[in-house]
Amino acid sequence: MSATLRAGARRAVPVFPATLTLGVSFGVLAAPIIGGAAAVVMSAIVFAGGSQFAAVGVLAGGGGAFAATGAGLLMNARFLPMGFGFAPAFRGGRLWRAAQGQAIVDAGLVLARKDDGAYDRNLLFGSTAVQFVGWVGGTALGVLVGNTLPDPDAFGIDGIFPAFYIALLGGELRGTRARIAALLAVGVVLAGASFLPPGVPVIAASAVALIGLIPGRDRNEPPDPGDGEPTKEEVAK
């Protein structure tokens, strides 16, 4: 294992308890609806908490498989702009690059970023491996212990998922534009929640990320590798 892969795995260690807990919550909530084995297999194959919770939520509300799949796809649409950000870090042909992109998860936006603001694929692979173990293992644990919980909602399990995302967001609000984008995204979600189908307001809010195309950079943001400013690695050399 390369040093960068190990570094990525170490970065994910603090996130592991939260990922494990999220997996447990999914297993507890999903097992009565789709079955324990299906919940574990879903976590191993889909490996996307947002879409999995969305799909199970639709099924729990009486929706069919088509509606559940649509909700999951809408939630996973957030990986498209994330993929654009990670694309320069991947190597090889199109199919191989697409395969590498399967390692992209939400926490990877934080854990796989280098000091110069670019992404490193080995940091991504190492951190994602740890999170995969936590997510799938947590789901299996949730399936096993779910029947022993008289009322899962009484433990606040449904609040763990949004709390996890809020914690990730906190580390990203380092610049003025990032704070503005976060506030605008919240506004879009709140405004759209009253008349748009579930999941759509979240996807609409991702359009706010286009604020990053505006020229200029906050003082607190890491320098762009192509703007002529030396990175920490270059200074060290």
**Token pair listed for 101:** 């992109």
Cα separation, 84 vs 101, whole angstroms: 10
The pLDDT of residue 233 is above 60: no
The alpha carbon torsion through 74, 75, 80, 83 (nearest 10 deg) reads: -160
Q: Which residues contact 86 (CB under 8 A, 6 or more apart)?
A: 101, 104, 108, 112, 119, 121, 124
Q: Which residues contact 77 (CB under 8 A, 6 or more apart)?
A: 203, 206
pLDDT given for residue 237 in this prediction: 45
Which pLDDT band, with edges at 50, 70 and 90, does 121 fall under?
very high
Assess contact for 32 and 145: CB atoms under 8 A: no
> Dihedral sign, CA of 155, 110, 2, 237?
negative
- Among residues 100, 93, 102, which one has the least CA distance to residue 47? 102
Mean pLDDT over 12-19 rounds to 88
Task: Report CA-CA distances (Å) from 99 to 13, 46, 87, 91, 131.
Answer: 24, 14, 12, 11, 18
Task: Specify the higher pLDDT residue, 166 or 201.
Answer: 201
Q: What one-letter code names the amino acid at 118?
A: A
Beta bridge partners of 113: 119
Which pLDDT band, with edges at 50, 70 and 90, does 159 fall under?
low
The secondary structure of the chain in percent helix, strand, coil, rounded to multiples of 5, reads 70, 0, 25
pLDDT, tens digit (0-9, with 9 covering 90-100), for 75-92: 787 788 788 888 899 999
The pLDDT of residue 193 is above 80: no
